[in-house]
Structure formats: C-alpha cells, structure tokens
Amino acid sequence: MILGYVLSGKNSNDGLFFDGNEPLGVLCPNCGTCLDYQYAPPTIDVHPSKKYDVSYTHDLRRLFSSRFVEFCKDTLHSDDNFKLVKSKSMDLFYMFPSRVLEFDVERRKTRFEKPCDVCGGYESIVGARPAFLRISKPIGPGFYRSDIAFASGKSKFPLLFVGTEWKELLISQKFRGIEFDEITD
C-alpha cells in the first residue's frame, strides 16, 4: 500500500543556505549540525538560471517559489510557516513542517555515525531512502517531516512528506523541479 511520498526538488546549483554568517546557536560548533531549524537567512545566492518552483541548496535546504507558496496557502490551505529568503533573481521560501512522522531506522538500517559530545547528536546520519515510516495508514493533508535529519554536518535535514491527495494536486500545477519518491508499507 502507498502511504505517501517524499517531496523533493532540483538542485539549485550555486546556492548555500548556510554562508558562515549564522548567529551563534544555529549550528553546533563541533559537528556542524543545525540546532535551530526555524532559522532562515535573509538572503541566499542562487544562480538565476535555476528558477525552479521546488529546489534545494548544496546544503540540502528545500526552497520554494512564490507561485508554489501561493498555491499551498490559497488552494491547499496550508498552515505551514513559509519564511521569505531573498535571492538576486527571485523571492524564495523556506519551510520546516511542524507535523512529524517517525522514521523506521531499524527497518531501513539507518546508520548513526560519529556521536557529538557537544550537541548530543551525530555528525552523520545515513540511510534515508527508500523511506520507511512507522505509520499504518496513508499520510493525510499537510506537509510532514521525518523525526530524523539525514546527511552530514550542516547539510543534515529531515525528509519532507506529503500524502497521495496533495501529491496529485501539486503535480496538477506543473511546478518546475518538483519530485516525489513513493513510500510503501
């Protein structure tokens, strides 16, 4: 049975979410793990030829176009908080969903590497795809995130999820760069 989809996008190429000017407390000074996922930089450098509606930076932060955000708020009635991040060529938005789904690390055989004695996290968490969730029924309306952030250092970020109904509505809008990976039980 299909439970939902991992929501992703195209690489925005040149952009970095973290540019070294983050306030203290946003990143762990030892392993680089993000400690404050509500943080969004005021500006970001994204190549103007990479005008996707859904994309991600080199450090794996998902970015969304104004068009995507307007559809989500006006049509899907999303209550998620999209934060404006300015670029030279367009306004982009960052979102960190408040709805959390538990990732099944045992079934996926996720690896937790190099524990950090400063923040209590791990430098790297590997094994995100295919995604396995600890849920028994399909994902409903809304944006969701995994309870675990995957990758290494400041690039670690949770997976983003949507249910089948929202996937179909998002596909109907032909958003540039949007990608989905199926989640099954």
Q: What residue spans define the domains of the chain?
A: 2-184
Judged by phi (left if over 0) then psi (alpha if -120 to 50, else beta), residue 8 lies in beta
The pLDDT, as a whole number, for residue 89 is 76
Alpha carbon 148 to its chain centroid, in Å, reads: 11
**Residues in CB range of 130: below 8 A, 6 or more apart:** 108, 181, 182, 183
**Residues in CB range of 168: below 8 A, 6 or more apart:** none
Task: Give the amino acid at 142.
Answer: G
The pLDDT, as a whole number, for residue 44 is 83
The pLDDT, as a whole number, for residue 29 is 95
Pick the more confident residue, 14 or 124.
Answer: 124
**What is the value of pTM for the model shown?**
0.91
Q: In terms of C-beta density within 10 A (0-12 exposed, 13-18 middle, 19 or more buried), how is residue 109 classed?
A: exposed
The pLDDT, as a whole number, for residue 46 is 74
The pLDDT, as a whole number, for residue 6 is 96
**The dihedral formed by the CA atoms of 7, 53, 44 and 29, expressed in degrees to the nearest 10:** 0
| Per-residue pLDDT tens digits for 34-57 | 999 989 888 887 766 567 899 888
| Per-residue pLDDT tens digits for 106-145 | 999 999 999 999 999 999 999 988 999 999 999 999 999 9
| Per-residue pLDDT tens digits for 61-116 | 888 999 999 999 988 888 788 888 887 778 888 888 999 999 999 999 999 999 99
